[in-house]
A and B are shown apart, each in its own frame.
Chain A
Amino acid sequence: MILEEGVLKDGTKFILVEKNTLLEELKNMKNQGYDYLILMSAVDYRNYREVVYHLGSYRDNRKLVLKVRTEDDVLKSSASLWGSANWFERELYDLMGIRFEGHPELKRIFLPEGWHGHPLRKDYDMNKEQYVNMNDDGTDTVSFNPEDGW
Chain B
Amino acid sequence: MEYSILQLINFILTYIGINFSVYFPPYGMLVQRVIVDLIGGLLIFIAAALTIIVVIYIFRKWMADLQQRIGPNRVGPYGTLQLIADALKMFGKEDIIPDNVDPLLFRFAPYLVFIPLILSYLLIPYGNLYHWDIIFTNVNVTLLLVIAFSAIPPIGEIIAGFASNNKFSMLGALRAAAQDLSYEIPMMISLIGVIMLTGTFNLNSISQYQWHYIPIAILEPIGFLVFFVAVLSKMAVVPFDLPESESELVSGFNVEYSGLRFGIFYLGVFGSIFFGSLFISTVYLSGGSDIPFIPGLGYIWLLVKAFIFTFLFLTIWVSLPRIRVDKYMNFGWKYLLPLSIINILWTMVIVLAMHGVL
Determine whether A and B are in direct contact in the complex, meaning some CB atoms lie less than 8 angstroms apart: no
Question: Could you list which residues of chain B lie within 8 angstroms of chain A, going by C-beta atoms?
Answer: none
Question: Could you list which residues of chain A lie within 8 angstroms of chain B, going by C-beta atoms?
Answer: none
